[in-house]
Amino acid sequence: MAVILRPDEIENKFGKLFCRGIYTLVDEENGVAQIIEECSAKGPVEWDAVNRKRAGGAITDIRVEGTTLIMDTIIGEREVRFGPASKNVGGQGLKSLWVEGDTVRTTWVGLAGASVGIGACMPQGPGTICAEYPDDAKVGGAHRIEVTVTTPKLVRAIIAVDDTDTREKGASWVLLLKTARTCPIGHFLQHKIVQLNPNVPEKTTNCVSVAVSFAIKEDGIDALVAWFVDKLREGTYSKQTTMAVFQGLQVPQGLVDYGLRAKREILTAEDGHEAAEANGVRVIAVTGDRGTIGAVAGIGCFDLGLKAAGLPEDFED
């Protein structure tokens, strides 16, 4: 018989451990999800990343950013394979991820010491609703455990902004980072500075747009957008501030292409509107429309890593 425990009950059973938050983002249209696990130290994150990658299962890609583990997954189930290392060093992996109404259920398998991470640490972190264990569950030592963790169904919202400063006042990256850090809606994930074509005549100094992402319940996106619009109107120094909004885990290739063009070419607001309309981006004129060019490019470049922050020549061989 299964035993279902809340995070506080898991903490009481196993002792307080190290997870600072677990967030499960889904993109049902594309059949994919992303699990973000925030830890209080880098060692467990790196070790978990290697073990979960080795195990395969429902995880398709995994990376470490500081003390945060980011896992790209399918929505569905795949066999976990620990490989020859499991006999001596244990292992852990994600067996399945399923969306059920407004929740997500992830089933994890752990062996030996690795069973503590998925059986005792992660399930007690903020963001967990409950975890389901076999009635004879034990973690650590030579034990094997299979645990199913239920979390809220969240989506990723990207908000990108351009043209908030003048040559004399302001910095777009500062305004958006301050705004995101104080936002009471959703969970702030990432902040990106996107370098655009420095030869644009209307630029201030650096010619960048800025974007942030949030994990949020789908029905909270409108409130998130409204909050940002109000704060940007209060903080901008420009009469041409524009905001762009995108929901999803996979930025369409058409948007990526547009974002890369904005690093090389001098585009128009009309170009930005065309790219936005073709790729599911909502554009909001906060105080004006010229910022459309960079705001849409900010979404297109959001997942490009260092390429977002640089110019094409920075990455030429």
Residue 65 clears pLDDT 90, i.e. is over it: yes
Strand, helix or coil for residue 17 = coil
Q: What is the CATH number of domain 155-315?
A: 3.30.70.2200
Residue 120 scores a pLDDT above 90: no
Q: What is the pLDDT of residue 257?
A: 98
**Residue ranges of the domains in the chain?**
2-152, 155-315
Residue environment code for 37-56, b if the CB has 16+ CB neighbours within 10 A, otherwise e: bbbeeeebbeebbebbbbbb
Region 255-271: what's the mean pLDDT? 96
* Cβ-Cβ contacts under 8 Å for 34 (sequence gap 6 or more): 24, 25, 26, 27, 70, 71, 72, 73, 156, 249
83, with CB counted inside 10 A (0-12, 13-18, 19+), is exposed
**Which of the four pLDDT bands, split at 50, 70 and 90, describes residue 166?**
low
pTM of the model: 0.93
Overall average pLDDT of the 30-35 stretch:
98
pLDDT of residue 202: 67
Phi/psi of residue 24, nearest 5 degrees: -115, 115
If you average pLDDT over every residue of the chain, what do you get? 91
Average pLDDT over residues 250-261: 98
The residue among 157 and 199 whose pLDDT is bigger is 157
**pLDDT band for position 316 (cuts 50, 70, 90):** confident
